[in-house]
Amino acid sequence: MRIVNPRRAIVALSLICALFLAACGSAEPTAAPEDFQPVVTIYAPTVVPSPTAAPPTPLPQPTATEALQAAAAVADAPASVSGQIAENVNPFTGLAVADPAVLQRRPLLIKVANTSDVRPQSGLNSADIVVEHYSEGSITRFTALFLTNAPARVGSVRSCRLIDIELPVIFDAALLCSGTSPGVKPLMRASWAHRNNLTMISDMGGTECPTCPMFRTSDRLPPHNLFANPVRAWQELDKRGKNVPSTFRAWTFDSNPPPGKPTTVLEVGYKSGSVIWSYDPRSGRWLKSLRNEKQIDALTGEQIFAANVLVVHAPHVTTLIQEDVTGARSIEIQLWGEGPLRVFRDGAEIGGRWRRVPEVGMFDLLDVNGNKIPLKPGNTWIQLVPMSDIVVNAR
């Protein structure tokens, strides 16, 4: 099978985007500065064998509270042996599960907005992984991964961005969002063309729809009233024959922390406002704030927390893809190759590098000696930041 070389695809894909936008009659784009570099370098990874397991029979879904209680009851179980995840362990959290059958369903990546009119968001503390990144301009957006837990609603849900071409490949997961811009859609299709196991559920949702993967509520104005229902999303994947387990096995977990620099506060200076993580030694968790105001999960009323916080530095390239009528341009976050990494767990910082080689989708977390950095069993929050032009302070 012929695999597209991403470096050779730059010019062709850029032209496709430009022609597609012109055909759709998009609003006139704003003039680009003279030093603007119109680069679109969509990554085309080598094929990874798809799982051969048949789609599982739909399972009774636990409530978020039941799932969290079950996870807590088995949190002390061994997460891995010599880097190999045990059969009854969630590969995204390193936590043993009460019912191993839930590991046979497909992980879900759900796109969640992060603007003042949608906070507090719902369901983020039930996610195994949350990736926070620039969307366009100065605002950030979340992509939250769910496998073990199934909260009643997650959101509010918004549209996908270029980064969501990469994340389903990295985590081998299905993608849920309200759609894409005309410039992103053809690039996503081209990048996923040879990976039959990847799929996206794009649904504008019906009002209070009890059977839809996504539904709209009457307590908010659109577009901020769209939410995802993970159980309905898994049922939709069953219909498509896509509800198969992930092949992700990249990370290792250990309840015993490796040596690190004592750290209790982490501040990530996004242009839309500094994200602040404070370590709470009583719970062993990092607690999240935005501009010194606690960020809350609307479903539980708890402050957003994480067992691990990863600061991943990667190249950010502004493209010609127009995301909205204001002329805002999509940002390509290049999560391939390698780059600086800072892992925060158990009140300490461990420095190293992340690495994603072309032959596989997922990426490794390596210390300065090239050994895998073990994460603390539990949920992980990933802060994607540019290689420069952003302040990251830890103390």
Note the pLDDT of residue 43. Answer: 33
Query: Which residue from 169, 176, 134 is spatially nearest to 154, judged by alpha carbons?
Result: 176
Q: Give the DSSP letter string of 243-267.
A: ----------B-SSPPS-EE-SEEE
Angle at 295 between CA 291 and CA 296, to 5 degrees: 160
Tokens (6 digits) for 6: 């991403």
Residue 197 within a domain: yes
3-state secondary structure of 67: helix
pLDDT at 84: 55
- For residue 2, tell me if it sits in a domain: yes
CA distances from 153 to 189, 208, 213 (A): 28, 11, 10
Report the number of secondary-structure helices (H) and strands (E) in the chain: 5, 25
Output the domain CATH number for residue 247: 3.50.90.10
Amino acid 184: pLDDT:
85
Q: Would you give per-residue pLDDT tens digits along the chain (395 residues)?
A: 334 444 334 334 443 444 343 333 333 333 333 332 333 333 333 233 333 333 333 333 444 434 444 444 333 443 443 345 677 999 999 999 999 999 999 999 999 999 888 899 999 999 999 999 998 778 899 999 999 999 999 988 988 889 999 999 999 999 998 888 888 888 888 888 777 778 999 866 677 777 889 999 888 888 888 999 999 999 999 999 999 999 998 999 999 999 999 999 999 999 989 999 999 999 999 999 998 899 999 999 999 999 999 999 999 998 888 777 777 888 999 999 999 999 999 999 999 999 998 655 678 999 999 999 999 999 999 999 999 878 889 99
Contact indicator for 100, 299 with CB cutoff of 8 Å: no
Tell me what pLDDT residue 31 has.
Answer: 32
Residue 11's H or E segment, with its range, is helix 10-23
* DSSP per-residue codes, 151-212: -S-EE-B----THHHHHHHHHT-EEEES---TTHHHHHHHHHTT-TT--EEE---EET-SS-
306 assigned to some structural domain: yes
Q: Is the dihedral of CA 13, 15, 18, 23 positive or negative?
A: negative
> What value, to the nearest 5°, has the Cα angle with vertex 361 and ends 276 and 39?
75
Element (H or E) spanning 366, and its range?
A: strand 364-367
Its sign, for the CA torsion 66, 64, 54, 361, is negative
Establish if 351 belongs to a structural domain. yes
Distance, CA of 214 to chain centre: 18
Residue 106 to residue 231: CA distance in whole angstroms? 11
What contacts 19, CB < 8 A, 6 or more positions away?
none
pLDDT given for residue 132 in this prediction: 97
Residue 353 in domain? yes
352 within domain boundaries: yes
Q: Is residue 91 part of a domain?
A: yes
Q: What is the amino acid identity at position 4? A: V
Note the pLDDT of residue 90.
97
pTM, two decimals, is 0.79
Number of domains in the chain: 1
* Residues of the domain holding 67: 1-48+59-395
Is residue 54 a part of any domain in this protein?
no
